[in-house]
Amino acid sequence: MSKGIISKDEDYSQWFNELVIKADMAEYSPVRGCMIIKPYGYSIWEKMQAVLDKMFKDTGHSNAYFPLLIPKSFFSKEASHVEGFAKECAVVTHYRLKNDENGQIIVDEEAKLEEELIIRPTSETIIWNTYKGWIQSYRDLPILVNQWANVMRWEMRTRMFLRTSEFLWQEGHTAHATAEEAVAETEQMLDVYADFAENWLALPVVRGRKTANERFAGALDTYCIEALMQDGKALQAGTSHFLGQNFAKAFDVKFANKEGKLDYVWATSWGVSTRLIGALIMAHSDDAGLVLPPKLAPIQVVIVPIYKHDEELENISAYVKTLTTELKAKGISVKFDNRDTQRPGFKFAEYELKGVPVRVAIGSRDMQNGTVELARRDTKTKETVQQEGLANVIEGLLDEIQSNIYSKAYNFREENTTEVDTYEEFKRLLDEKPGFLSAHWDGTPETEQRIKDETKATIRCIPLNNKQEEGKCILTGKPSTQRVLFARAY
Amino acid sequence: MSKGIISKDEDYSQWFNELVIKADMAEYSPVRGCMIIKPYGYSIWEKMQAVLDKMFKDTGHSNAYFPLLIPKSFFSKEASHVEGFAKECAVVTHYRLKNDENGQIIVDEEAKLEEELIIRPTSETIIWNTYKGWIQSYRDLPILVNQWANVMRWEMRTRMFLRTSEFLWQEGHTAHATAEEAVAETEQMLDVYADFAENWLALPVVRGRKTANERFAGALDTYCIEALMQDGKALQAGTSHFLGQNFAKAFDVKFANKEGKLDYVWATSWGVSTRLIGALIMAHSDDAGLVLPPKLAPIQVVIVPIYKHDEELENISAYVKTLTTELKAKGISVKFDNRDTQRPGFKFAEYELKGVPVRVAIGSRDMQNGTVELARRDTKTKETVQQEGLANVIEGLLDEIQSNIYSKAYNFREENTTEVDTYEEFKRLLDEKPGFLSAHWDGTPETEQRIKDETKATIRCIPLNNKQEEGKCILTGKPSTQRVLFARAY
């Protein structure tokens, strides 16, 4: 089959790339590291946006929009922030093109900006510069704002959806009167992300906190959700940062509290991106193509007629019309593929590739028997079922598929999470059975860095509500009070 | 009142600026010509997006996403296109910052791009470069794609919402097998825009075509909708372009037709932007603040309790709960402002400023009498009405306000559209009674340019289905077959 893709066991990385392209999700663009999100891929992003946006609004947030470009001087006001992003910034230096003497289009050197502008890699700086004007007293707090935007990080090694120079995301930026409130917000948004990952993406996640080495540049504390992909590598699926008063101090944002005393404002920021589409693909799909959780699938049910003569199609179509109406009334998206330019087998393969959760095939014999053939994408099983009550059957099946996809990913993660007590075992498992490795660590950045340098594994997180137990660091043998979660990661 | 704004008769331009800021719609940012869209302003944009997006999907379009940055060489492939945009392009030249010897953050000159990248002012070039890979035969057509995105045009004179260096918009880009199909698409999308302007923005528009001077850079034909603002200046509210085969030729996009013959693909593009928010404000608002059409108002009904004692508030609140439930069941957005930190008069002024269409005030006497005070923002009238059946009354009132705002704008436009037959009269009216001037023109770009140079008035459009009549050009006296619509414009 022309649309065949390589097996994921043979070459997982190549499998992912081929799948993204052949399933019409995205393609590379002529601009280094930037991708084009095609309509099918974008429609999944739209579904994610709709769900997340409602979750944000239900927790009291509003959307706003801040400039794409950030003055270089703003960007460098918070020391560790600029340190973290300076090496991957796209810089705007001019604002005009002109024709040279040969009629070629060149940059007009006379139109040089007085101060260079950075394309936002994230918006803390421009937003906190703005919040300075919005906040005078505790009455102006909290500020609960989110932005849907594109951002740019000039990455050297890119991969579609997972790491691209430009990506789409949302970034929440909140301002609070107390540290406690800001921490509560940080934790609340982590819960929102975990809820979204588990109940919509069907992706089980570990909630935890990053070590100092892995924190967001400018944060006091970074919370994250970590998921396991089918090749045993971890993927950070969302982060929520407690920024303390760092940005308020950098931009001099103070408020008068109830006692009339001035204090710096407390901040959080949190974000998820189009990377989630990469996670969705990597976590569930197989060698036949995408496996999409029904709640995020652009098309939930496809109906394929099987016929030789036009009158057969007419007969089938009449029934399909009724079925479609019933499904739509239940809020189920459905496509009737009655193209006469492709054979049913071709269509079956195409919808497998695109991960449509449920396929209904109907032939003339089915019409005589009052049946259809019902196939599910996740298990690749099919059965003959009655037309009578079919819409209800499909509704239940979609729920079952959603929960089956989650269970499969959950079981995979459980099977690939191992407690390890020696460095030899740690290194052996990373090569032979990669996954989450739960191990003791002496708590120092130096040890973490050495393990990373030697094994490419990083501490993905210190799980929330982690069990406290005495142990010895796998590398140094120094005492430790809890296990942390290591893995190689995307 | 601290939030008072200047009268629009005194200084229309200043009135607009003050209104935008005091109604919390937007503010200027530290980046030249770029604005910050605040939550209240952004929520109107979100409503616009939701309605337009549905209209686009109902007419068969899907969304996708293309890169922010365009290689300079692509950008200059279509001659008149680059000519039109080269003078206002933000140019990315470097991709890294570094510390200099003094620890200052500077641009790393070693990280210079091989080819400069342009921040998209519009995406025809990068999209047609992509379509080349998507189109082989007539079976791949039409392509009906839209993108929601930010774009950048480095404008020298900016004004919030109306002309900003960065703005948000949607840009549709379609590909067709025949010129007829592409023209039909261009016209269809113009109708979508006109429908949206009239039935949602409550903004009457003239549908027409641009003259060659005013066409989009690279288009064969530009269709537009033109609206009249309260100061008699015109505002282009949306454009739809028939691009012919210009971009297909520039990017070598050919398809095999049904006969197997290769031909260049036909193109359209069409867009509306956050400029529509400026149009909305300028068309309807008054000296007390915004007047928003109910269909796009973020809050449609505000309820203000009037009370001295807490038990009065309790009593009122119980009723408000019922009313709110009834209104929400009708899909009406409602806010109960029970803040005890502000007096009712302050709240009234605030919601007037923010253009909330309907205000319900309830005091203890109202509760005894089973009444409320119902005020409408558009006419600034109020009356006492029964609580019984109030939700239905409000539902009807919102419709009435929507249609009244439209009628008012329509009548204003009719009163300020004048047929003019001499250049003296033309110039006199532009100063004394600005508006649309319908006049004969000899059809040459030179005459159009001279009139623009001498009066600042441009031809806004040649209306669709224009009446054909013999006449003489107001400037040159040469023969003309139809009147065209002139105005000074934003």
Nearest-CB residue to A68 (from B39, B133, B152): B152
Counts of helices then strands in chain B (DSSP H, E):
14, 26
State residue B1's pLDDT score.
Answer: 41
Can you give the pLDDT at residue A3?
A: 59
The pair of three-digit structure tokens given for residue B70, joined into one six-digit string: 């365009």
Q: A115 and B30 in contact (C-beta within 8 Å)?
A: no
| CA-based nearest distance B441→chain A, Å | 34
CA distances from B46 to B37, B192, B205, B431 (A): 11, 18, 22, 37
Per DSSP, B362 falls in state E
- Work out the minimum CA distance from A125 to partner chain B, whole angstroms: 12
**Interchain proximity B66–A126, CB inside 8 Å:** no
Which whole number is the average pLDDT over A453-464?
A: 98
Distance from CA of B428 to the nearest CA of A (A): 38
* B222 neighbors B213 (Cβ within 8 angstroms): no
Question: β-strands B479-487, B436-440: how paired?
Answer: antiparallel
CB contact under 8 A, B67 and A94: no
Identify the residue whose tokens are 């100063």.
B431
Angle separating helix axes B390-415 and B275-284, nearest 10 degrees: 90
What span, in angstroms and rounded, lies between the C-alpha atoms of A277 and A296? 10
Q: What is the pLDDT of residue A1?
A: 41
Q: What pLDDT, on the 0 to 100 scale, is given for residue A2?
A: 46
**CA-angle at A192, arms to A186 and A195, nearest 5°:** 140
Alpha carbon of A82: minimum distance to chain B alpha carbons (Å): 9
Straight-line distance from the first to the last Cα atom of chain B, in angstroms, rounded to the nearest whole number: 30
Question: Are A166 and B69 an interchain contact pair (Cβ–Cβ within 8 Å)?
Answer: yes
Q: Where are the domains of chain B?
A: 12-65+124-284, 301-397, 417-487
User: Do residues A353 and A290 make contact, with C-beta atoms less than 8 angstroms apart?
Assistant: yes
Of B235, B240, B230, nearest to B276 by C-alpha is B235
pLDDT band per the 50, 70, 90 thresholds, residue A156: confident
Say what the ipTM of the complex is.
0.96
- What class, spelled out in words, does domain B301-397 have in CATH? alpha beta
Average pLDDT of the segment spanning A332-342 = 95
pLDDT class of A4 with cuts at 50, 70, 90: confident
pLDDT for B183? 98
What superfamily does domain B12-65+124-284 belong to in CATH?
Bira Bifunctional Protein; Domain 2 (3.30.930.10)
State the Cα–Cα distance between residues A111 and A104, nearest whole angstrom. 17
Amino acid at B45: W
Whether the CB-CB separation of A430 and A418 falls below 8 Å is answered with no
End-to-end CA distance of chain A: 30
Q: What is the CATH number of domain A294-405?
A: 3.40.50.800
CB atoms inside a 10 Å sphere around CB A407: 12
Query: In a 3-state reduction of DSSP, which class is residue B10?
Result: coil
CA distance A474 to B428: 88
Cβ-contact A449, A455 below 8 angstroms? no
φ and ψ at B199, to 5 degrees? Answer: -90, -15
Q: Which chain A residue has the Cα nearest residue B144?
A: A39
Q: With contact defined as beta carbons under 8 Å apart, do B404 and B379 qualify?
A: yes
Burial of A470 (0-12, 13-18, 19+ CB in 10 A): exposed
Interface of B with A in 408-467 (CB under 8 A): none
- Look at residue B3 in the predicted model and tell me its pLDDT: 59
| pLDDT given for residue B103 in this prediction | 86
Q: B217 — phi, psi (to 5°)?
A: -65, 100
Does an H or E element contain A39, and which? helix A39-58
Q: What is the average per-residue pLDDT within A326-345?
A: 96
Q: Is B21 on the interface with A (CB under 8 A)?
A: no
Task: Calculate mean pLDDT across residues A430-456.
Answer: 97
**Confidence at residue A121, expressed as pLDDT on a 0 to 100 scale:** 97
The closest alpha carbon to A134, from A265, A268, A257, belongs to A265
Which of A54, A95, A112 has the highest number of chain B CBs within 10 A, making it the mutation to test binding with B? A95
What is the CATH T-level fold of the domain B417-487, as seen in this structure?
Answer: Translation Initiation Factor IF3 (3.30.110)
Residue A134 has pLDDT above 60, yes or no: yes
What does A423-489 look like in DSSP terms, one character per residue? HHHHHHHHHHS-SEEEEE--S-HHHHHHHHHHHS-EEEEEETTPPEEEEE-TTT--EEEEEEEEE-B
Q: Where are any strands of DSSP class E within A279-395?
A: 301-306, 334-336, 358-363, 371-376, 381-386
Using CB atoms, which residue from B97, B130, B150 is nearest to A36? B130
Q: Is the dihedral of CA A394, A398, A399, A401 positive or negative?
A: positive
Q: Which class is A12-67+124-284 in CATH?
A: alpha beta
| Facing residue for B67 by CB, picked from A36, A68, A133 | A36
**Count of residues making up chain A:** 490
Neighbours of B261 (CB within 10 A): 9
Report, as ranges of residue numbers, the positions in chain B whose pLDDT lies below 50.
1-2
Backbone angles phi, psi at A147, to 5 degrees: -135, 130
B196, B271 contact by CB (below 8 A): no
Does A80 touch chain B if contact means CB atoms closer than 8 Å?
no
Which two three-digit tokens encode residue B361?
């005030």
CA pair distance B243, A413, nearest whole angstrom: 53
pLDDT value at residue B2 = 46
The fraction of chain A above a pLDDT of 70, given in percent, is 99
φ, ψ (nearest 5 deg) of residue B484: -125, 165
